[in-house]
Homo-oligomer: A and B are copies of this chain.
Amino acid sequence: MLKLKSPADFIGKQGPGVISFGSGQPDLPPPKEAFDGIDIKRDLRYGLIQGELKLRQMLSHEYPGSTADNFVITNGASEALDLVFRAWGKGKVLLPRPYYYSYLPIIQMAGMTPVFMDLKDGRIDIQDFKKKIRGCRAVLINSPSNPTGRVETIETLKEIEKITRKLGVYVVSDEVYKDLIYERENYHIKGDHVITINSFSKTYCMCGVRVGYLWSADKKVVENVCEMKTHTSMNTNLVGQDMALSTMNAPKEYIEKQRLIWRERRDFIYKELLDLGFDLWKPEGAFYVLPKCKNPRKFLTTLYQDHKVITYLGEWFGAPDRIRLSYALDVKQIEEGLSRMKSAMKKVRAI
Q: Which residue of B lies closest to A8 (CB)?
A: B230
- Decide if A146 is an interface residue (CB 8 Å cutoff): no
- Decide if A292 is an interface residue (CB 8 Å cutoff): no
Q: CA–CA, A25 to B238, complex, Å?
A: 15
Q: CA–CA, A227 to B106, complex, Å?
A: 11
Q: Is the CB of A82 within 8 A of B232?
A: yes
- Decide if A222 is an interface residue (CB 8 Å cutoff): no
> What 0/1 pattern do residues 23 to 60 of A give for CB contact below 8 A with B?
10111001000110010110111111100000000000
Q: A338 → chain B, closest Cβ, in Å?
A: 23
- Decide if A345 is an interface residue (CB 8 Å cutoff): no
Q: Is the CB of A230 within 8 A of B44?
A: no
- Decide if A210 is an interface residue (CB 8 Å cutoff): yes
Q: Which residue of B lies closest to A239 (CB)?
A: B239
Q: Which residue of B lies closest to A236 (CB)?
A: B210
Contact A231:B25 (CB < 8 A) given known A86-B109, A210-B236, A243-B40: no
Which chain B residues border A86 with CB–CB below 8 Å? 109
Chain B interface: which of A116-124, A188-196, A201-209, A270-278?
Answer: A201-209
Q: Is the CB of A230 within 8 A of B43?
A: no
- Decide if A4 is an interface residue (CB 8 Å cutoff): no
- Decide if A237 is an interface residue (CB 8 Å cutoff): yes
> What 0/1 pattern do residues 208 to 238 of A give for CB contact below 8 A with B?
1110000000000000001110111111111
Q: CA–CA, A25 to B82, complex, Å?
A: 27
Interface centre among A40, A102, A106, A227 (most CB of B within 10 A): A40
Q: A97 → chain B, closest Cβ, in Å?
A: 17
Q: Is the CB of B78 within 8 A of A233?
A: yes
Q: Is the CB of B106 within 8 A of A11?
A: no
Q: CA–CA, A79 to B79, complex, Å?
A: 11
Which chain B residues border A109 with CB–CB below 8 Å? 86, 228, 231-232
Interface centre among A45, A79, A82, A206 (most CB of B within 10 A): A45
Chain multiplicity (copies): 2
Selected from B30, B82, B105, B233, the residue in CB contact (under 8 A) with A44 is: B30
Q: Is the CB of A82 within 8 A of B209?
A: no
Which chain B residues border A232 with CB–CB below 8 Å? 78-79, 82, 106, 109
Q: Is the CB of B105 within 8 A of A40?
A: no
Selected from B35, B44, B208, B237, the residue in CB contact (under 8 A) with A41 is: B35
Interface centre among A12, A205, A239 (most CB of B within 10 A): A239
Q: Is the CB of A82 within 8 A of B231?
A: yes
Q: CA–CA, A264 to B215, complex, Å?
A: 46
**12 A–B contacts, CB within 8 A, in A order:** A8-B49, A34-B44, A38-B40, A44-B206, A45-B207, A46-B208, A76-B234, A79-B233, A82-B231, A237-B237, A237-B239, A237-B240
Q: Which residues of A contact B (CB under 8 A)?
A: 6, 8, 11-12, 23, 25-27, 30, 34-35, 38, 40-41, 43-49, 75-76, 78-79, 82, 86, 102, 105-106, 109, 111, 205-210, 226-228, 230-240, 243
